[in-house]
Structure 1
């Protein structure tokens, strides 16, 4: 019997442990979602390691019809088994990371004996997490699947980006974020959530272009790297706002952004790229940012331009008891990305 024979897309969301309550197994689906419950190196608020489960729960309240990609879900969106050993390791290493961060905030240095061992343990754990995600991604990519990742903090997609790079073809990264994430070994942590785009530039030459959108909180070194690297294009929040104030439509702005991307695109979507009302509990909230509809329009314009989305992540969602907005926003951005990714290859 076909998987869809007994599934009612107009009915109540199924509590089956899968994103959106969809009935597909990974073997049946075109797109597989892997999860990374991890937030060891976050430098302010914690809790994004709880996001995969919270987004699964919130996604059951989502209706499946999407005007931008109607029926795309029928090609199959599946949920890979979540490796909860990542969550256990994250919780264990987080205490080491917190001690390091506190030491630095009190004026200490990363080379001090008091924190050297803790930094080493955190870095070793992050390497293991990266290998875990890369192995999962490799396995599904080898089966011809599209792969998306649900974090976790923004360090978690590194293994997926590496796995895509290993396949040899060049691609661009559309990076929606409040932060550049171009810091080198931030707070002593080589694979910090604040370092992922620096690490991609260093390690994944197939990532030919990183187009950063909505960034509005970054340091001098990141600004200099963005200016000097031929592989980075920045559309920061100040530029975007100025263009709007001077009369440029959002559609025209999006076309300028998309023009900087190659034909194959990976989307890295940090939820704090949105305005804070959509993600009030995210780990490092920053005033300003995109509206939900602006972000969705940009994603749609990327696909409408003829570009193909080859993979994506949604990260830095922090659920909170008594508030559903963060997980609800994350679930809806995730669903838009799933549908547009599937649509983009038709």
Structure 2
């Protein structure tokens, strides 16, 4: 009997969690089939901080998630393991967040000339640190994908998945991105930061392997982003107001999902910004926007992607931020998104059976 089978035999999925690990599961990086990369990073956040604490908040809340999935038998046996939260990345984030916050405040004051010398070098320093973070994520993803693991990422702000997407592009010549988000994230840069959380979609599209970017739930965007989304034939955007209008006029969510799925190529990377949900489900996220989805709407859509025969080749969950001490609501919701996404990812890869 293999070590993994021994672990499974000795684990009670119905009992109280006794493992201080993601979802209370007993697997490590050797016995788990899926590796979650935590990235505690929020250097370029432009509204409220806190997303760097997202991975820890989800980890803590995950031990209250029941493991049973009624449409995926024995889903927990796949084995999911989250790597240790990297202190070096967190320290790099905290250090450069102070620089970025002061610089953003200077911009908001109109960039006074007397402080120009003090702040002129900040964008370069932030961009350099962001490259370092992206390279760390890329190397982690490369290491574990080379071991045959499925790899996902848990942010941090929405700038964090670029290294994982780059790794996915190295083994997939043609794939699409399904982006669940309140924001288009198509800015060439934001506040002079090339790797801003508001630029992840734009930066991802620099990779020629990405044949389609399908954005769903977008409801907060600038004119330049609207023009780019309209003129770039690799982008299809399902705006929140249009989805709501269609629903009000009688179009079923199933039909809307069919239209979304039809825009995707065979292989799909899924990026989920938690602010794509209704803010009642993520009140402490960095840039909440009124509107958005119920949790089950998003999970239904992802299941429809899998049922269509398309293959998920990676995913991330970002922008979860905890509230005040003792408030685990955002982490609780995020943990449930993460567990379900992990299972659907594995089902699309044929490692779990979806009914």
* TM-score normalised per structure 2: 0.94
In the alignment, which residue of structure 2 is the partner of 1:270?
Answer: 273
In the alignment, which residue of structure 1 is the partner of 2:130?
Answer: 126
1:88 aligned counterpart, secondary structure: helix
Q: Give RMSD over aligned pairs.
A: 1.4
Correspondent of 1:316 among 315, 319, 323 = 319
Tell me if 1:152 matches 2:137. no
Q: Residues of 1 paired with 2:275 and 2:281: CA distance?
A: 9
Q: Residues of 2 paired with 1:19 and 1:150: CA distance?
A: 12
1:187 aligned counterpart, secondary structure: coil
TM superposition shift of 1:112: 4.0
1:46 aligned counterpart, secondary structure: coil
In the alignment, which residue of structure 2 is the partner of 1:209?
Answer: 212
* Contact persistence 1:13–1:62 (CA under 8 A): no
Tell me if 1:259 matches 2:262. yes
TM superposition shift of 1:251: 0.6
In the alignment, which residue of structure 2 is the partner of 1:44?
Answer: 47
Tell me if 1:106 matches 2:112. no
In the alignment, which residue of structure 2 is the partner of 1:181?
Answer: 185
C-alpha offsets along residues 160-183 of structure 1, whole Å, 9 cap, x if unaligned? 000111224211111000000001
Q: Residues of 2 paired with 1:315 and 1:14: CA distance?
A: 27
* Contact persistence 1:211–1:261 (CA under 8 A): yes
Single out whichever of 139-148 and 267-276 deviates more from structure 2. 139-148
Single out whichever of 101-110 and 180-189 deviates more from structure 2. 101-110
2:198 aligned counterpart, secondary structure: coil
C-alpha offsets along residues 111-155 of structure 1, whole Å, 9 cap, x if unaligned? 943322121111111000000000000011111111010000000
Distance 1:117 1:345, change over 3 A: same
Distance 1:255 1:36, change over 3 A: same
Distance 1:69 1:33, change over 3 A: same
* TM-score normalised per structure 1: 0.97
Unaligned runs of 5+ residues in structure 1 are: none
* Contact persistence 1:170–1:208 (CA under 8 A): yes
Distance 1:109 1:236, change over 3 A: farther
Tell me if 1:342 matches 2:346. yes
In the alignment, which residue of structure 2 is the partner of 1:19?
Answer: 22
TM superposition shift of 1:23: 1.1
